[in-house]
Structure 1
Amino acid sequence: MRSLPLPLSAVALAVALAPVAPAQAAALPAIQIVKIYYNSPGSPDNGANASLNGEWAQLKNTTRRAINLRGWTLRDKTNRPDHVYRFGAFTLGAGKTVTVRTGKGRDTATTRYWGRAGGTFAYIWNQTSDTGYVHNPTGKLVDSCSYNSSRVEWVDCR
C-alpha cells in the first residue's frame, strides 16, 4: 500500500471533511409570512372587535424594492371565500412588514384590516392548527406557514 506525502494527506483530509454547500441556497420568497398570532387575548369569546384584531398575520417584503400587493391574497386552510383577504391598492416598501388583522379598523401603511365581524365564527386562524398561504395576483403560491399547537399563541414562520 502506498501512502500519500504528509502535506497531500492533509489536503485530502480537509477536502473530505469540508461541509458540502448546496449548489444554490434557497431564496426567500419576495413576500414572506413572518408571524401568525392565532390565539388572540380573550378568545374564545363573543368575537368582539378587539379580540378579532388580536389575531393577525404579518407579511414581510424580503426584497430591495417596493412591491405592489394589489390582487395578492392571504388565506388560511379553510376553503371558503370569506377566509381570503385580497389586497387592494397597497405597496409594501423594501424590507417592510404589514400586519393583516382579522377585525375592523382603519387601514394604514403598516396595518390592514380583514373587516370581519359577527361573533365567534368571524375568527380566521384556528387556535390549534392551521396554515396561512400567500398567493400573488396570478394565483401562484408564494409562501405558506403552518402551526400545530394550542400551547402557544403565535408561530414564527421565518
Structure 2
Amino acid sequence: MRHTRIATAATLVAAFAGSVLLPAQAQAAPGSVHLYKIYYNSPGPDNRSNASLNAEWVQIRNTTSKAVSLKGWTLTDASRHEYTFGAFTLGKGKSVKVRTGKGKDTAANVYQNRGAYVWNNDKDTATLRKASGTKVDTCSYKNPKVEYKLC
C-alpha cells in the first residue's frame, strides 16, 4: 500500500512539473494567412452573369496579430488561372473574398474581373503564394455534390 502511495505521489509531481515547465515550442503558434473557404459552385444557372460569377469565390483569412500586405501575392487554380493582388492589406483577424466576376475592390472583397468561371464544379486546387513565389497554402476539393469547401 505504501509503495502505491509513493508511486502515485511521484506521478502527480511529474504531471505537475510537466504542466508548469513547458518547452518554448509547446507555446501557442503564431497565426497565418491562409485559404479558408472556396465557394466553387455558384447557386443558380451557370449563365456567366456577373452575379453568378461573383457567387464563385475564395476566402483568405489572416489569423496573425498584425496586418499583412498581400501586394504581389497570387491565387491560382489547377489550370493556372491567376489573380495577383495589387496594393492590398489584410487586417489582423480579417478575411477577404476573391470573387471571379467584376466589381469595385473593398476591404472585404476583391474582384478578378473575369467573364468566365475559374473554379471547376467537380475538382480543383487553389494555391496561395507570396510575391516571392513562396507557397503559403493550398486547398483541394473533389466533390461535385456540394457547393463549397472549407480548407
Q: Normalising to structure 2: TM-score of the pair?
A: 0.83
Report SS of the residue matched to 1:145.
strand
Offset at residue 30 of structure 1 (A) = 2.4
CA–CA separation in structure 2 for the residues paired with 1:111 and 1:155: 18
Matched, 1:154 2:148: yes
2:117 to 120, 123, 129: 123
The equivalent of 2:82 in structure 1 is: 84
Matched, 1:51 2:52: yes
Higher relative contact order (CA 8 A, sep 6+): 1
Paired residue type of 1:55: E
Paired residue type of 1:87: F
Task: Go from structure 1 to structure 2 and tell me whether the alpha carbon gap of 1:152 and 1:28 turns closer, same or farther (over 3 Å shift).
Answer: farther
CA–CA separation in structure 1 for the residues paired with 2:68 and 2:114: 26
The equivalent of 1:105 in structure 2 is: 103
Structure-to-structure mapping, 1:3-152, within 5 angstroms = 5-10=3-8, 27=29, 30-43=32-45, 45-78=46-79, 80=80, 83-117=81-115, 122-152=116-146
Residues matched between the structures, number = 144
Paired residue type of 2:150: D
CA–CA separation in structure 1 for the residues paired with 2:43 and 2:68: 32
Paired residue type of 1:32: H
Asked if the contact 1:29/1:142 (under 8 Å) is kept, the reply is no
Paired residue type of 1:60: R
CA–CA separation in structure 1 for the residues paired with 2:37 and 2:75: 13
- Structure 1 residues without counterparts, runs of 5 or longer: 16-22
Q: Among all aligned residue pairs of Structure 1 and Structure 2, give the percentage whose two residues are the same amino acid.
A: 50
Asked if the contact 2:31/2:65 (under 8 Å) is kept, the reply is no
Asked if the contact 1:71/1:137 (under 8 Å) is kept, the reply is yes
Report SS of the residue matched to 1:5.
helix
